[in-house]
């Protein structure tokens, strides 16, 4: 087996990486393939909480790297889906506990065991981020439609582009869209952000209070078909990752903008 | 000329358009690692050169950075009045 190694990253903190990792991981596993969720936010362990698995954590990623246990021993099986596994971060260590080579080796091993290896990365673009992307072949960049988040996403995209040889593609998730604010022109739209960043869109996730409720319960929203907002968005994202074409939630019009017209004018061959 | 007017059109000043315009300029500068005053000194120099050959209409001169995909281009428009003798 050779699985796909996908890193979830953002630059800016708190934009929804861990929430997305948990939800996409669960939705992927629910549709069949085996999935490993890797918490690379060493020292700030969160993914186990969102998955409701915090009581089952025995060993962690650093233990595996330091050969205190076998990889299989550190993997925590999800309570809902046996084909979903979590590799927790260490809570009492810091980012310097692992390096890029060790992460590459670890993801290599995970690739042999799972169809999808989904890596939740820490905020920032320093060593923790570099370790998280070290073994990745694809990236999912998350931002919210706010200026600081978009700027940081752009920085991350620049860093991913510089590693084109290893990371073959990256796509964007725009999280916490508030359609009424876009409509009243108080906030950037999906189309605005795409135009600014010039990236491929993987998904659009609306602002949804249920995200907090589901975090408190330890049950990612994508797990039940009840939730038609964020939960549905994450399920769609999981389908797109698997190559299915799913229309985007119609949160704003995706028509031709002045931008595409300008491109046509200056560079007709490219459109 | 219409296209240029529209290219350099002033956008409305709601929060959404403001954010978008600021973002675009900010990211172009970020990506090029362009210091904030560099563009205006380039403009000054270019204008000086063009002015050696032409009288230009300074009121409608436009000078701007724009992006396509993730690459920036410099777009300048110097309306010419007459050539210098
Ligand atoms: N679509 C959404 N709607 C409402 N709240 C959301 C949404 N996505 C994320 N949140 C909330 O935003 C907060 C940050 O989310 P999360 O922890 O997933 O971000 P993160 O990028 O992993 O943060 P960090 O950089 O600290 O690791 C959480 O309180 C989460 O519940
Ligand atoms: Mg997180």
Q: Min CA distance, B82 vs chain A (Å)? A: 26
A37-42: average pLDDT:
97
Give the number of the atom of ligand 1 that is nearest the alpha carbon of residue A175.
1
| A40 pLDDT more than 70 | yes
For residue A78, the model assigns a pLDDT of 98
Per mean pLDDT, which range of A51-55, A78-82, A205-209, B68-72 is the poorest? B68-72
For residue A41, the model assigns a pLDDT of 95
Instruction: Summarize pLDDT for A115-162 with one digit per residue, the tens.
Output: 999 999 999 999 999 999 999 999 999 999 999 999 999 999 999 999
| Residues A47 and A118: beta-carbon distance below 8 Å | no
Given an 8 Å threshold on Cβ–Cβ distance, is A188 in contact with B6? no
Strand B71-77 to B62-68 pairing: antiparallel
Q: Which domains does chain A have, with CATH numbers?
A: 4-270 (3.40.50.300)
Angle at B74 between CA B72 and CA B75, to 5 degrees: 125
- Please provide the DSSP assignment of B12-59 as one string: P-SHHHHHHHHHHHHHHHHHHT--TTHHHHHHHHHHHHHHHHEEE-GG
pTM: predicted TM-score of the whole model, two decimal places: 0.88
Q: Where are the domains of chain B?
A: 2-83
Beta bridge mates, B65? B74
Residue A12 CB–ligand 1 contact under 6 Å:
no
For residue B10, the model assigns a pLDDT of 58
Q: Which residue does chain A place closest to B71, by CA atoms?
A: A198
For residue A228, the model assigns a pLDDT of 84
Spatial separation of the C-alpha atoms in residues A206 and A211, rounded to whole Å: 10
ipTM: 0.76
Task: Answer with the residue of higher pLDDT: A156 or B13.
Answer: A156
Q: How does the average pLDDT of chain A come out, rounded?
A: 92
């Amino acid at each position: 087996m050779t699985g796909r190694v996908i890193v979830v990253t953002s630059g800016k903190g708190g934009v929804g990486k861990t929430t997305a990792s948990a939800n996409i991981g669960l939705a992927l596993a629910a549709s069949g393939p085996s999935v490993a969720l890797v918490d690379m936010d060493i020292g700030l362990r969160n993914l186990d909480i969102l998955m409701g698995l915090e009581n089952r954590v025995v060993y962690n990623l650093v233990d595996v790297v330091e050969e205190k246990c076998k990889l299989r021993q550190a993997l925590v099986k999800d309570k809902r889906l046996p084909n979903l596994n979590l590799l927790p971060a260490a809570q009492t260590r810091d980012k310097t506990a692992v390096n890029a080579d060790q992460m590459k080796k670890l993801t290599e091993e995970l690739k042999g065991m799972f169809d999808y290896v989904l890596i939740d990365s820490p905020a920032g673009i320093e060593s923790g981020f570099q370790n998280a992307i070290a073994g990745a072949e694809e990236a999912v960049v998350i931002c919210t439609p706010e200026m600081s988040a978009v700027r940081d996403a752009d920085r991350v995209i620049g860093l991913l582009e510089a590693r084109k040889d290893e990371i073959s593609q990256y796509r964007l998730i725009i999280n916490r869209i508030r359609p009424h604010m876009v409509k009243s022109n108080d906030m950037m739209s999906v189309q605005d952000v795409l135009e600014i960043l010039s990236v491929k869109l993987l998904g659009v996730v609306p602002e949804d209070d249920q995200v907090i409720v589901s975090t408190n319960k330890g049950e990612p929203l994508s797990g039940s078909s009840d939730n038609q907002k964020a939960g549905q968005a994450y399920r769609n994202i999981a389908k797109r990752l698997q190559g299915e074409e799913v229309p985007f939630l119609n949160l704003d019009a995706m028509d031709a903008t002045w931008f595409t017209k300008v491109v046509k004018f200056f560079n007709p061959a490219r459109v | 000329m219409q296209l240029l007017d529209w290219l350099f059109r002033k956008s409305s000043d709601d929060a959404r358009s403001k954010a978008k315009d600021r973002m675009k300029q900010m990211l172009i500068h970020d990506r090029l690692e362009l210091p904030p005053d560099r563009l205006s000194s380039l403009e000054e120099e270019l204008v000086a050169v063009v002015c050696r050959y032409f009288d230009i209409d300074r009121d409608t001169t436009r000078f701007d950075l724009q992006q396509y995909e993730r690459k920036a281009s410099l777009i300048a428009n110097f309306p010419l009045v007459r050539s210098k003798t």
